Structure 1
């Protein structure tokens, strides 16, 4: 692993970003994100994937290029939950998804095979498992993506997936903290609200995330949901109350914390505001998953806050130390 310069503002800023891009090769756009923006990670979607050979070449080339630029190895992430959210399709193994996992062996088999296939491609992070609890009496937005059962059952199956992925060399990211299983609107298109007290979340929704923490999950993704009885002003992904006070301090989670995609419609703030909130909450990584002006705006905002706010510079170095430690633990 490259010796990291914790005094370099561009490097500190870039490691806080996980970015999407257009194309299926190490093209000029992707080189720009790595060389000039110093990005800490990239995330892949269906348009980035044509075949196994192409995907392997893309991932390996991007990771090597980062190292050649004096950067730590890249996070190369993908959403491979199975079912409706699986970026890798045939010839990769297609699983029916979390609602169809009935036994621990089902979960272990999914994790073992998925880890092997992702690792073979050069992918090192899976934005899975979904740890949301979807009650049967709610028309949950997550009903086709969540494990079936109560919080304890979700915890059992989810931690089996976490252990299996990470034993196979793939960093697991539990989502969507603090739980969106009781929401009915899609944060890709709306800002959903969940009118729950913190005591309600602790009784149900937070149980699987506590289990994920105990299982050593590499990352936790924040939801874009507004919980007005807990933080009336900011959705969880922009909320110090949720990311720092609840997840870091109260629950004691020491792994990576990241936002969901800041390009979603649930984010009704400009990018500068988003980055200010993310850095104040000491969220490690901001996801901007689609090519466009939001990427440049996010990077510029991180640079500006690191340069002009001493407290954000120091907390930012702490976040990047956590990112580098995670990379070293998985990539050596």
Structure 2
């Protein structure tokens, strides 16, 4: 396999793994797959010292192979979605954050603890808008209030995290606050016009772009008025055209976890759609055969498609840019 193709494929993946220590699985993720990043969940985390040692070993191993440093991500929203248990500081969650001061305090304390643990990316904040009276899947995770309030609190979190050296990822584009089904188990559908999304749901994401959020995560929701065939995370119309052209975003675009039931496609199809949409990072959050399938699909398609290869280089250059900005890395001339 061509070394550059393998690198272009691997840097586009953010992968989960089993274990609380540096192990053979992480070695494979870094050495064989050359993954752009890893993602931590509760089973990977025992204590601040343990996770700091785990992250340091992973980064040292990547450096020993002359590979770029890893994005190391976690979902630390506070409240209902908190991967870091005590003694990490616990927060009540976004629904109880009502002021900029509260949002900034959450982000400042969280950023300090993430940085000390060796984590450099927070898959937060949630920027979904929950309409009053909606039994939304996001009701326990979203900021309270209308789109302007969500934008204000969310951008405070983004700016505070990033001023402390932690990349922030706004989610779940283009907005899932009105959905009542969980994409972990279903393929939810939101049948609304783009004009309605622009009037409400997109406003916080536009604010996130203005706040220079490092990343935006795409949902697995089907928006048939925008793309009748593909859910957002596999839709070029949403994951590329709407984000890059309409919103003017030039940061990192991430999928939600491709292990979710809302993605009922084989990895060849998923990776083809991700390449076509110029999504920067595909998340596969659980160890298993899907990881190797994704690596093989990406390498095959990058090898055979010059257009995918050209856009792939552009995506990896964007990944490098954030690794230089946040991870103290200088891209060597050979990359």
Name the TM tier (shorter chain).
over 0.9
Which residue in the other structure is 1:149 paired with?
145
Which residue in the other structure is 2:333 paired with?
none
Q: Deviations over 1:167-209 (max 9, x none)?
A: 1110000000000000000000000000110001000000000
Give the distance between the partners of 1:171 and 1:241, measured in 2 at CA. Answer: 26
Give the distance between the partners of 1:218 and 1:66, measured in 2 at CA. Answer: 22
Which residue in the other structure is 2:105 paired with?
109
Q: Deviations over 1:268-318 (max 9, x none)?
A: 111110000010000001000000000000011111111000000000000
**Structure 2-normalised TM-score?**
0.97
Partner secondary structure for residue 177 of structure 2: coil
- 1:195 aligned residue (191, 196, 209): 191
Partner secondary structure for residue 314 of structure 2: helix
**Structure 1-normalised TM-score?**
0.97
Unaligned stretches of 5+ residues in structure 2: 329-335
Which residue in the other structure is 1:95 paired with?
91
2:2 is the alignment partner of 1:17? no
2:64 is the alignment partner of 1:68? yes
C-alpha root-mean-square deviation of aligned residues, in Å?
0.9
Unaligned stretches of 5+ residues in structure 1: 1-5
Partner secondary structure for residue 53 of structure 2: helix
- How many equivalent residue pairs? 327
| Structure 1 residue ranges (4+ consecutive) displaced by more than 6 angstroms after TM superposition | none
Give the distance between the partners of 2:41 and 2:291, measured in 1 at CA. Answer: 16
Partner secondary structure for residue 286 of structure 1: strand
Aligned ranges for residues 281-296 of structure 1 at < 5 Å? Answer: 281-296=277-292
Which residue in the other structure is 1:312 paired with?
308
Which residue in the other structure is 1:35 paired with?
31
Give the distance between the partners of 1:20 and 1:7, measured in 2 at CA. Answer: 23
2:224 is the alignment partner of 1:228? yes
Which residue in the other structure is 2:325 paired with?
329
- 2:123 aligned residue (117, 121, 127): 127
